């Protein structure tokens, strides 16, 4: 029998090290006793060994990372049972939801997901200024599980420009705008009770409250009462709920009125005055905007002459585009340049841009892996794209891939069914594949056929726009 002692809390590193040693020694789950303790201490004589790496499906690794955060004392035994079975022939075990082990582990993962959501939603910072005038923000939170380190990236991305500390009974996080430190557990007394900002926040919260839509059951479901003591706005809830019926009656009895000074014609004219008048003004707005998905280095603006006959619209910047601040300079862009040259189109005479202006990715080790934009993200950037094309005024707009087509048409469009000349919401266009599609094809024969089709598309586009050599 092997006994594995791990650190209190979520000891992911210790668990992984133990699993490598156990799997390497072919030790079955029934021969292992997992004992979370105060200090990691793997089985005697092997604590400093690392064991051989184990290749697991990504879904298994993601599940392990979350479930080790749970308070269930059996979590490590359950996870090792999963790893053992996956490495002994049941590669797709996680897809079998009827399996009792899988069902239980998914339940633990959902509990962690709920706890992460609550911490993201209900942490409230309080401002403290020391004698030297240095500003720091503090927050107290009481999670159900050991999720403090798992939630760290969220708060760093959201509050990167602040110095802050989050204190919990199971650990703490400290950020100084450059470095993140994980510290020991703390107490509520370590965090200021309130600050001057809270009075203004409560006033704002009270003014946006709509008494006609009061639903106390939904409020308790979304904002469980256990978190109320740490949230300043909840001090106003009892009075707001008590006065809701009378406020609704007042709203009904009060005659509808339009402020005398409001002039719809002037309001529309004012809105029109605020719109950018040139492509340069629009680009300044885009460049100053925050990424919808945190992480991008900069907005990648369109490139090319105003009045170009052809405008090419891709999905979003990639890793190289994000670093250089220019569209289509990475591997897909280099492939596009070759195809344009073969089709007799000079890139410098075309306009190049993307439907989404910031790079969305997932960090895997040192690599930034492209992530496909969601429908809401495409919609978020669509106004900018439409204004951009209004300024460029291309004769023909080319959608490179389904995301670009979605942005231009305002609806989802499959490339296979719609490839060719097409109308994009009143704009003359052409839909073809994104050059990155060619890079992903598995064999050379398929790549060669797709390359010929892609170059053929570009030749037809150049002939229609009158720019082919």
Looking at the whole model, is its pTM more than 0.85?
no
The band of 131, judged by pLDDT with boundaries at 50, 70 and 90, is confident
**Residue 271 pLDDT:** 45
Q: Which of 116, 123, 114 is nearest to 147 (CA)?
A: 116
At 168-200, the pLDDT tens digits run 999 999 999 999 999 999 998 888 776 555 555
Residue 346 scores a pLDDT above 80: yes
Across 38-52, 250-264, 436-450, which has the greatest mean pLDDT? 436-450
Q: Provide the pairing of β-strand 351-354 with 361-364.
A: unpaired
CA atoms within 13 A on the CB side of 441: 15
Domain ranges of the chain: 2-118, 123-190, 196-211+221-252, 274-465
User: Is 27 or 272 the better-scoring residue by pLDDT?
Assistant: 27
- Confidence tier at 255 by pLDDT (50, 70, 90): low
pLDDT of residue 219: 60
Q: Which of 41-55, 100-114, 297-311 has the lowest mean pLDDT?
A: 41-55
Instruction: Give the contacts of 207 (CB within 8 A, at least 6 positions apart).
Output: none
**The CATH number, out of the four listed (3.40.470.10, 3.40.50.800, 1.10.760.10, 3.40.50.10860), of the domain defined by the range 274-465:** 3.40.470.10
CA–CA separation, 467 and 4 (whole Å): 70
Average pLDDT over the chain reads 85
SS3 content of the chain, % helix, strand, coil (to 5): 50, 15, 35
- Residue 445 has a pLDDT of 92
Percent of the chain with pLDDT over 90: 60
- Lowest-confidence pick of 239-248, 343-352, 451-460: 239-248
Rounded to an integer, what distance in angstroms lies between the CA atom of residue 382 and that of residue 357?
10
Q: What's the pLDDT score for residue 366?
A: 82
The whole-number average pLDDT for the span 114-128 is: 87
**pLDDT for 251 beyond 80:** no
363: pLDDT strictly greater than 70: yes
Task: Convert the pLDDT of each residue in 92-111 to its tens digit.
Answer: 999 899 999 999 999 999 99
The DSSP annotation for 19-83 comes to HHHHHHTT--GGGEEEEEESS-BPSTT-TT---------HHHHHHHHHHTTS--TTHHHHHHHHH
What is the reported pLDDT for 48?
A: 47
């Amino acid at each position: 029998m092997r006994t594995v002692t791990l650190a209190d809390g979520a000891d992911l590193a210790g668990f992984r090290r133990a699993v490598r040693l156990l799997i390497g020694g072919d030790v079955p789950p029934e021969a292992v006793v997992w004992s979370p303790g105060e200090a990691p201490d793997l089985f005697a004589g092997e604590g400093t060994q690392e064991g051989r790496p184990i290749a697991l499906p990504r879904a298994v690794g993601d599940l392990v990372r979350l479930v080790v955060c749970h308070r269930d004392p059996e979590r490590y035994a359950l996870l090792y049972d999963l790893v053992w079975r996956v490495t002994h022939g049941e590669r797709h075990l996680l897809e079998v939801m009827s399996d009792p082990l899988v069902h239980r582990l998914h339940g633990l993962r959902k509990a962690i997901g709920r706890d992460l959501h609550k911490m993201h939603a209900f942490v409230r910072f309080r401002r403290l200024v020391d004698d030297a005038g240095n500003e720091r923000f503090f927050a107290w939170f009481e999670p159900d599980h050991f999720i403090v380190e798992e939630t760290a990236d969220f708060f760093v991305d959201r509050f990167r420009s602040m110095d802050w500390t989050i204190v919990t009974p199971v650990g703490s996080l400290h950020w100084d705008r450059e470095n993140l430190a994980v510290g020991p557990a703390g107490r509520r007394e370590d965090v200021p009770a309130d600050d001057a900002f809270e009075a203004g926040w409560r006033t704002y919260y009270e003014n946006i409250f709509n008494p006609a839509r009061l639903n106390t059951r939904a409020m308790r479901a979304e904002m469980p009462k256990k978190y109320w003591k740490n949230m300043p706005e909840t001090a106003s809830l009892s009075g707001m709920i008590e006065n809701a019926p009378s406020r609704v009656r007042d709203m009904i009895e009060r005659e509808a009125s339009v402020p005398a000074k409001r002039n719809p014609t002037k309001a529309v004219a004012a809105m029109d005055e605020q719109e950018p008048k040139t492509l340069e003004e629009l680009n300044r707005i885009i460049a100053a905007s925050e990424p919808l998905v945190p992480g991008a280095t900069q907005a990648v603006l369109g490139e090319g002459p105003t009045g170009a006959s052809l405008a090419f619209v891709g999905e979003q910047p990639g890793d190289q585009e994000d670093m250089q601040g220019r569209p289509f300079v990475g591997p897909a862009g280099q492939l596009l340049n070759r195809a344009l040259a073969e089709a007799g189109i000079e890139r410098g005479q075309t306009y190049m841009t993307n439907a989404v202006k910031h790079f969305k990715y997932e960090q895997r080790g040192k690599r930034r892996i492209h992530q496909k934009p969601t429908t809401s993200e495409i919609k978020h950037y669509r106004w900018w794209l439409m204004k951009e094309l209004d300024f460029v005024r291309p004769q023909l707009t080319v959608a490179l891939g389904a995301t670009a087509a979605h942005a231009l048409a305002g609806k989802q469009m499959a490339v296979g069914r719609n490839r060719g000349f097409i109308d994009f919401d009143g704009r003359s266009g052409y839909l073809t594949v994104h050059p990155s599609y060619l890079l992903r094809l598995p064999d050379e024969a398929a790549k060669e056929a797709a390359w010929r089709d892609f170059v053929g598309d570009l030749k037809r586009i150049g002939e229609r726009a009158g720019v082919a050599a």
